[in-house]
Amino acid sequence: MRLPTNLLYLTLSILPSAFAVFADEAYNVDYHYELLGIPQPHTTFFHRPRKDEKATLLYTLSDLGVLGAVNPGVGNVVWRQFLGQDAHSETGFLRPVEGENTVVSAIGSSVNAWDAMSGREIWGNNFGGAIRDLEVLETATGNDEARDVLALFEEGGNAYLRMLKGTNGDVAWEYKDGSSDVPLQVSTNVRNVFVVSLHGSSGGYNLKVTILDPVTGKRTNEYTLTTKADIYAPEDVLLVGANSAAPIIAWTDKPMKNLKVNILGKTGDIQNLPLKESDGEITKVALHAPHLVQSLPHFVVHSHSDVSNRADVYHIDLSHKSIKLAYSLPKLPGQGAISVSSQDANVYFTRHTQDEVVVVSSASHGILGRWPLKLEKGRGSFVHGASEVVQRTADTYAVRSAVVTTDQDWVLVRNGAEGWSRLEGLSGIVAATWAEIPESESLAKVLEVEAESNPLSAYIHRVTRHIDDLQYLPDYLQNLPKRFLSSILPGESAPQKQGVLARDNFGFNKLVIVATQRGRLYGLDAGNQGSIVWSLGAFEIPAGKKWDVKGIWASPSKGTTTVRGAEGEFIQVNTTTGETIASTTPGSAPVIQSTVVVDGPLQKWLLPIGTNGEPGQVPAVLAPKEYLVVQGKNGEVKGLKFETKGDVANPVVTWTFTPPADHRVTGVVSRPAHDPVASIGNVLGDRTVLYKYLNPNIVLVTTVSDEASLASFYLLDTVSGDILYSTIHEGVDTKQPIASALTENWFSYSLWADITPTTDALPASKGYQIIISEMYESQIPNDRGPLDSVPESSSLEPSDIPNAEPALPHVITQSFLIPEAIGHMSVTETRQGITTRQLLCTLPSSNAIVGIPRTVLDPRRPVGRDPTPAELEEGLYRYHPVIEFDPKLILTHKREVIGVKDVITSPAILESTSLVFAYGIDVFGTRVTPSFAFDILGKGFNKLSLVSTVIALWVGVVVLAPMVRRKQINGRWMA
């Protein structure tokens, strides 16, 4: 039967004219949290990036050293700059330059000016020492010249104050304080510059105020305030006003009964302002003052107790150098936050409580605006914020505030209602692990129970089960059209419901449990764009410290996640809900230096390793079966094996690897826990086989010598401690990152070192390199090496010959030049190991993650010649010494993922796909297919066209069948 031409044309017209089987899935299967960190109260403000426009942006320099501008309307990041990567100090400063489109930052030893709209650097300058304060110089004239900047440094035990030109950042003058006083802050007015220092020792400090000439930087006067009984650390000083809008120094006495204030320039005069208790003793006092030069010199004192808070507003009389109480805000229960904003000379105080938002003027106690607070549940209470008050008419006002909550969210409150929120507490992740979503009771288990029962009970159980299943019938019928459409329309599947955790057929839906440096745990749903499933405050981490997480592991059998910290703290939570199951406080257990997941006789568990690499005694039922590799207190690498005696097992050192005297160990990497090998050899073009050296008990140790600029790499057998392979590189910059990875039968590492020319005609040079090495049992194809005829082998006894040397692998090595440094290396993981592995590298300079194909890094690529037909059949092509990071290899695409500390991978059910999760300051997740998606239809596959074509063919057959039958009958009669 032949189809008519018209019907064939109709069928072909249904198919798309252009069709891509594997469409680019960027921004669909991946997700990115573009984070800043927790905003700091002294570095967060609203500022006009263009003085001719009224629109403002929200600026902050976070606790992680990220400078950024946020659109206050929608909460999106306008621009970011990561300043903390080269900083030696965690204390940062950010100041707006009023009337200019400039913001000035200082962190570590650097001072920079940035364009407030675009984030581009205007100028930058580096100095010795660490920054202690930064202020914009106050001027008497309102000219359009760039405002100069005052930068206070501590260098070599001395204080240095430098005035930097606002045009280019050059030093106009420098003042050095030759004493050993601790520099604290700097303040300025039109006539003077004030440098405030701590004079004395940690047993008690006096405040020293040095007065300088703003034009020449010469000292004109100096006086000391007696504060030894009250000030023991820089944190005890509550406020040093930046300019004439708040020309004061303020602190409290030790029992927090009085606030003590000195007006800058008033020698030796200290005014005592009583602090009113509110439902108990005062636990915290904060001062808030305006920063605009033209603002009225008013400030508010916000005092807290355990159950309530209150505020008092004070006015400064600059002509008489006096301070008086203007009015008090009422005492309210709970905690709250107060922020200051200025408009021309007017100063407004915005008070955020548990129930409402109130705006008052600093001039009088009358309430200018009051709004009920409407926030989503689970936000916690307010900690601090920055506000912007706008007067719409003579009697109406509007306010928006960017407030940080106790749950470490950054929330914008607009007239009492939540405008947007940013999960800034998710930044600063220090550890992460993959976790499977627990399976619900399956039908197979239910049928197994029925099979073990008597026939009558099984029948009753089945009928009852079918009746109970009727409750799901309405939802099933309701979702039936969606399931039908999703099966024929382009796409993967129907979108997952928010808040519903369920496994999928492809293994994409998994959880990622992360721990942040601020002591919080989060559960992220990797299959639902990384949405937050739960969050938990695990431990209270003091300000200025970081949670040093030594291990995190999710148990698939128990459905729990265990986290261990360096100070012995421990917490175990439910993986799906975040509910705390067990925990211990820091200091309740011995200090640990690392952890390792071990396989005991009963189960896998997270073993803590104490100082000096000693895991200590463990119960015999939990004793690890495998050998362990630990580091000692002097940097040596040791192998441990547990020996069981009775009910306990003790660790025994089996071998020790000590680096050379001038070397130190910088890294020890092992094969991933899930590292299946699909093929034991590489099939060559002539059908011979190079057998891989597949030893599960190996580690790659990296050592460096700072004095000799050397880097060495050792491949160790973890059972015997034998050195299987070693190499050394000269001219290495040990301050640059050195990353390494080990998997299957190959390892790789990157560094900055001397480049050995391939021919004598090329000169020697330096650059970033990536080195790849493959290990084989023998260099001869079809040869298994010295263990060819041995049915079983052991690292301790390689052969029957006494004192025999270990069977060393044949190593093939090749090096490539790369354009920039690699911060971290990891390898993709798939379920069976059939898919070609891909090397994932983080690029700190580009804020990106690149996936380098394994074929590019193949060390067997022919050098100096074209490949033979047999080599082409293997997939080898000519060696080129430079690997360019092509944009198609960048997993993050156009996104900038900053501060990435590590990349972890996990296999999906589909063999072609590996799940990737990168964490640090930002969070990024995606799916990669190193050998392409050979076991799943692409997202762009047109299922509708396929179904339509089949239906059209079926309709054509149904319509034409009677016609053909009638024609055949008529033909017989005519014959």
Flag whether 569 is in a domain.
no
Flag whether 458 is in a domain.
yes
Flag whether 936 is in a domain.
no
Pick out the chain residues at pLDDT < 50.
1-23, 87-89, 441, 494-495
Q: How many angstroms separate the CA atoms of 335 and 332, rounded?
A: 8
Closest CA to 885 of 928, 839, 946, 925: 839
Query: Please, which residues have CB within 8 angstroms of residue 962's CB and are 6 or more apart in sequence?
Result: none
Same domain, 299 and 393: yes
pLDDT in tens, 694-741: 999 999 999 999 999 999 999 999 999 999 999 999 999 999 999 999
Same domain, 294 and 323: yes
Same domain, 663 and 633: no
Q: How many Å separate Cα 140 from the centre of its chain?
A: 45
SS (H, E, C) 898-943: CCEEEEEEEECCCCCCEEEEEEECCEEEEEECCCCCCCCCCCCCCH
90 class by beta-carbon count within 10 Å (0-12 exposed, 13-18 middle, 19+ buried): middle
Sign of CA dihedral 823, 826, 828, 834: positive
Closest CA to 732 of 782, 766, 777: 766
Closest CA to 303 of 289, 286, 315: 286
Q: How many Å separate Cα 500 from the centre of its chain?
A: 25
User: How long a stretch of residues is the chain?
Assistant: 975
Model pLDDT, residue 17 = 38
Q: How many angstroms separate the CA atoms of 323 and 271, rounded?
A: 8
Element (H, E) at 871: helix 869-874
Model pLDDT, residue 299 = 95
Q: How many angstroms separate the CA atoms of 488 and 485, rounded?
A: 5
Flag whether 690 is in a domain.
yes
Helix (H, G, I), strand (E, B) or coil at 316: strand
pLDDT in tens, 821-830: 999 999 999 9
Flag whether 724 is in a domain.
yes
Same domain, 644 and 674: no
Do residues 107 and 91 make contact, with C-beta atoms less than 8 angstroms apart?
A: yes
Model pLDDT, residue 488 = 65
Same domain, 446 and 362: no
Do residues 359 and 401 make contact, with C-beta atoms less than 8 angstroms apart?
A: no
Same domain, 476 and 597: no
Same domain, 812 and 677: yes
SS (H, E, C) 108-176: CCEEEEEECCCCCEEEEEECCCEEEEEEECCCCCCCCCCCCEEEEEEECCEEEEEEECCCCCCEEEEEE
Among 612, 633, 650, the domain boundary falls at 650
Same domain, 645 and 664: no
Same domain, 723 and 639: no
Closest CA to 429 of 512, 544, 501: 512
Flag whether 97 is in a domain.
no
Q: How many angstroms separate the CA atoms of 61 and 47, rounded?
A: 14
Flag whether 377 is in a domain.
yes
Provide φ and ψ at 351, rounded to 5°.
-110, 125
Helix (H, G, I), strand (E, B) or coil at 452: coil
Same domain, 300 and 343: yes
Query: What's 391's domain CATH number?
Result: 2.130.10.10
Among 488, 505, 527, the domain boundary falls at 488
Do residues 496 and 483 make contact, with C-beta atoms less than 8 angstroms apart?
A: no
Q: How many CB atoms lie within 10 A of CB 603?
A: 12
Model pLDDT, residue 9 = 39
Flag whether 40 is in a domain.
no
Amino acid code (one letter) for 155: E
Same domain, 345 and 443: no
Closest CA to 35 of 66, 12, 7, 9: 66
Q: How many domains are there within the chain?
A: 5
Closest CA to 303 of 332, 283, 329, 273: 283
Per the structure block, which two tokens stand in for 823? 């911060």
Per the structure block, which two tokens stand in for 492? 């993967």
Model pLDDT, residue 452 = 73
Could you give the strand order of the β-sheet that contains 664-670, starting from the edge strand earlier in sequence? Answer: 664-670, 698-705, 710-717, 723-729
Do residues 183 and 239 make contact, with C-beta atoms less than 8 angstroms apart?
A: no
Among 650, 667, 686, the domain boundary falls at 650
Q: How many helices (H) and strands (E) does the chain have?
A: 6, 63
Q: How far apart are the first and last CA of the chain?
A: 20
Provide the Cα torsion 407, 411, 417, 419; round to 10°: -140
Element (H, E) at 561: strand 560-565
Do residues 97 and 166 make contact, with C-beta atoms less than 8 angstroms apart?
A: yes
Query: Please, which residues have CB within 8 angstroms of residue 438's CB and are 6 or more apart in sequence?
Result: 559, 575, 576
Model pLDDT, residue 792 = 67
Same domain, 338 and 410: yes
> Could you tell me the residue range of the domain that residue 617 belongs to?
591-650
